[in-house]
Chains A and B, each alone.
Chain A
């Protein structure tokens, strides 16, 4: 990873009141004890990278710099950022996924609430600061991995946005709020989930950009639109692991077959997501990820060589296969006492790489669903097309700007 293209993602809680720094500091020192396995730093071994326990306080910083910044070497892979009414936590993806990070954040907010009012909301959490189960440390991929499963076949390259990149620092993010009830009603009307609905809208926007480009006579070699949709495996395989335990499904449409209507895309997305989240197919996917780690010849390649190979693999087997990423963390559920603190949440996905260019993160709370677009290009065409599609489907959108809402 480079300094520009980090794997850092961010969760932000916009509170109803200004953050009290002393309560937050106390809450952070408690949360450090509750999640000791996040106090690690990345070290280079001869054959692999490894995480080394590093009992340093989690840094609390003013939130006045670029979001999702790279973590410097030899430091923790987590930071907390504060500004006015906003508390954010940034994680390197190597540490955990969105599910694990949100659990950490939820606990931090509960501790914060407790410190503010000296009430005991923490006991309402399924895991308290006094019980750290060993399962939280486990690599659940290994538990559910079956060795004799054939690996997934790599897919052809997908369509990618043709926009030119921003000057450095490239990454900027924009947030939009929609009513959870309204989008739920729209999704229910079509008998699909909110994730299906958003992914279909995203694909529809990409199709519009492709068709617009085609009408101008510009050639595009890759004609498949594929979206990577991460799936929290904790919902499929019982696990309390706080390490990464998610995989992705990739619904696709083939533009060589002609124009797809929104309803057609919705149907494809809905069924493909159901099909690919089938437990057996997910097993095949896990075997692809973990399988190579188990091979002795892969193990014995020195790290500097392995890094070169993995870098190539990242672009060829990884990013090249899909046109975009849509991560839905779902509707945030908090204990009632903690809920009263929060206005809404924002999930900022890791900065997209030069191939993907734009990424999208979604999180809901109460009636507020926040869409966060990370973008490294000069164009906002995808965001505009996406929001116009939502609006044309009867879902009003508000742009969020420094914690205020603006009608679009």
Chain B
């Protein structure tokens, strides 16, 4: 009787492969415990590829290095092509800016993968610079300072606030939906505010107030169901016809 080195079951002498795991059968007798434990460890080690054996930090560093090589190659290639065809930097400034912002974000993820504030702050700052530069390249600062950057900051601030609030909730349920609805309503108010300021120089609110008026009672109802009504039979009673 021989034993499968991988799953440790007894095999018949005529078996060339283990019918359970498909591992080739060894000709060594099953009572050689040391041989088997040694072989098991070897098989296990072989199964883990080099990549799997790296620590999380090493894996992130490797991914950062690969990303850097790809992004920098793209940057160099686009600049060279631009220079070859136009003899000066023209369109490649757009691609270069986007690549540099991407690089900054990837570096942030590599450097501080778990710090929400550093990640989102860094991402916001780099995107603000991106919008500003894209606007600047067109010759005049027409939309970035009045519209693009305020809207972007509003989206980021509301998104981070929502994330932090939901993460801190002990009892997640309908209250999450209520918070998301509220954030969407606030965002629509801010969007209309920035658009009207940009277009007329004055602030005026119309459609976003309708959104707010419809979303607010729905959110309050969801908060009420979540916090005031106990789960279970009370809910049933609440909706009883």
Residues of A in contact with B (beta carbons under 8 Å apart): 18-22, 24-25, 60-64, 82-85, 154, 157, 312, 315-317, 320
In the complex the two chains form, what is the Cα distance from A63 to B18 in whole Å? 14
Which of B1, B8, B11, B30 has a CB less than 8 Å from the CB of A83? Answer: B8
Given A18-B8, A20-B1, A25-B19, 13 more pairs with CB closer than 8 A: A20-B10, A22-B12, A63-B7, A64-B7, A82-B20, A83-B9, A84-B7, A85-B8, A154-B233, A157-B232, A316-B232, A317-B232, A320-B232
3 A-B pairs with the lowest CB-CB distances in the bound complex, closest first: A84-B8, A316-B232, A62-B7
Flag B204-241 by CB within 8 Å of A: 1 or 0 each: 00000000000000000000000000111101100000
In the complex the two chains form, what is the Cα distance from A83 to B232 in whole Å? 44
- Closest Cβ–Cβ distance, residue B50 to chain A (whole Å): 21
Given contacts A25-B19, A82-B20, A316-B231, contact A18 B7 (CB under 8 A): no
Asked if B4 lies at the interface with its beta carbon under 8 angstroms from chain A, I say yes
Chain A residue contacts of B4, Cβ below 8 A: 21
Given contacts A18-B10, A21-B9, A82-B7, contact A62 B20 (CB under 8 A): yes
Asked if B6 lies at the interface with its beta carbon under 8 angstroms from chain A, I say yes
Range of interface residues on B (Cβ < 8 Å): 20 to 34
Residue of A nearest to B232 (CB): A316
**Which of A18, A21, A60 gathers most chain B CB within 10 Å?**
A21
Chain A residue contacts of B66, Cβ below 8 A: none
In the complex the two chains form, what is the Cα distance from A84 to B9 in whole Å? 5
In the complex the two chains form, what is the Cα distance from A99 to B3 in whole Å? 33
In the complex the two chains form, what is the Cα distance from A85 to B3 in whole Å? 11
Chain A residue contacts of B18, Cβ below 8 A: 21
In the complex the two chains form, what is the Cα distance from A290 to B107 in whole Å? 59
Chain B residue contacts of A24, Cβ below 8 A: 9
In the complex the two chains form, what is the Cα distance from A18 to B18 in whole Å? 14
Chain A interface mostly helix, strand, loop or mixed? mixed
- Asked whether A19 lies within 8 Å of B9 as measured between CB atoms, the reply is yes
- Asked whether A157 lies within 8 Å of B3 as measured between CB atoms, the reply is no
Chain B residue contacts of A61, Cβ below 8 A: 20
Given contacts A25-B19, A62-B20, A82-B9, contact A18 B231 (CB under 8 A): no
Can you sample 7 A-B contacts with CB below 8 Å?
A18-B30, A19-B9, A20-B9, A21-B18, A25-B19, A154-B233, A315-B231
Residue of A nearest to B18 (CB): A21
Chain B residue contacts of A316, Cβ below 8 A: 231-233, 235-236
Instruction: Identify which of residues 1-51 in chain B touch chain A, using a CB-to-CB cut-off of 8 Å.
Output: 1, 3-4, 6-12, 15, 18-21, 30
Chain B residue contacts of A22, Cβ below 8 A: 11-12, 15, 19
Chain A residue contacts of B10, Cβ below 8 A: 18-21
Residues of B in contact with A (beta carbons under 8 Å apart): 1, 3-4, 6-12, 15, 18-21, 30, 230-233, 235-236
In the complex the two chains form, what is the Cα distance from A86 to B160 in whole Å? 50
Residue of B nearest to A317 (CB): B232
- Closest Cβ–Cβ distance, residue B167 to chain A (whole Å): 12
- Closest Cβ–Cβ distance, residue B33 to chain A (whole Å): 11
Residue of A nearest to B172 (CB): A354
Residue of A nearest to B40 (CB): A84
- Asked whether A62 lies within 8 Å of B19 as measured between CB atoms, the reply is no
- Asked whether B233 lies within 8 Å of A83 as measured between CB atoms, the reply is no
Chain A residue contacts of B236, Cβ below 8 A: 316
- Closest Cβ–Cβ distance, residue A88 to chain B (whole Å): 13
- Closest Cβ–Cβ distance, residue A115 to chain B (whole Å): 12
Chain A residue contacts of B12, Cβ below 8 A: 22
- Closest Cβ–Cβ distance, residue B65 to chain A (whole Å): 26
In the complex the two chains form, what is the Cα distance from A63 to B9 in whole Å? 11
Given contacts A19-B9, A84-B8, contact A62 B21 (CB under 8 A): yes
- Asked whether A157 lies within 8 Å of B230 as measured between CB atoms, the reply is yes
Residue of A nearest to B14 (CB): A22
Residue of B nearest to A21 (CB): B9
- Closest Cβ–Cβ distance, residue A108 to chain B (whole Å): 15
In the complex the two chains form, what is the Cα distance from A20 to B10 in whole Å? 4
- Asked whether B20 lies within 8 Å of A21 as measured between CB atoms, the reply is yes
In the complex the two chains form, what is the Cα distance from A61 to B9 in whole Å? 12
Chain B residue contacts of A315, Cβ below 8 A: 231
In the complex the two chains form, what is the Cα distance from A165 to B86 in whole Å? 59
In the complex the two chains form, what is the Cα distance from A84 to B20 in whole Å? 12
Chain A residue contacts of B233, Cβ below 8 A: 154, 316
- Asked whether A21 lies within 8 Å of B19 as measured between CB atoms, the reply is yes
In the complex the two chains form, what is the Cα distance from A317 to B231 in whole Å? 10
Given contacts A18-B8, A320-B231, contact A60 B3 (CB under 8 A): no
Chain A residue contacts of B30, Cβ below 8 A: 18
Chain A residue contacts of B7, Cβ below 8 A: 62-64, 82-84
Chain B residue contacts of A25, Cβ below 8 A: 19
Which of B1, B6, B15 has a CB less than 8 Å from the CB of A62? Answer: B6
- Closest Cβ–Cβ distance, residue A357 to chain B (whole Å): 14
- Closest Cβ–Cβ distance, residue A218 to chain B (whole Å): 10
In the complex the two chains form, what is the Cα distance from A154 to B1 in whole Å? 59
In the complex the two chains form, what is the Cα distance from A312 to B238 in whole Å? 15
Chain B residue contacts of A320, Cβ below 8 A: 231-232
In the complex the two chains form, what is the Cα distance from A60 to B20 in whole Å? 7
Chain A residue contacts of B232, Cβ below 8 A: 154, 157, 316-317, 320
Chain B residue contacts of A85, Cβ below 8 A: 8
In the complex the two chains form, what is the Cα distance from A388 to B236 in whole Å? 42
Chain A residue contacts of B6, Cβ below 8 A: 62
Residue of A nearest to B15 (CB): A22
In the complex the two chains form, what is the Cα distance from A2 to B42 in whole Å? 35
Residue of A nearest to B234 (CB): A316
Chain B residue contacts of A64, Cβ below 8 A: 7
In the complex the two chains form, what is the Cα distance from A268 to B4 in whole Å? 52
Residue of A nearest to B22 (CB): A62
Chain B residue contacts of A157, Cβ below 8 A: 230-232
Chain A residue contacts of B11, Cβ below 8 A: 21-22
Chain B residue contacts of A62, Cβ below 8 A: 6-7, 20-21
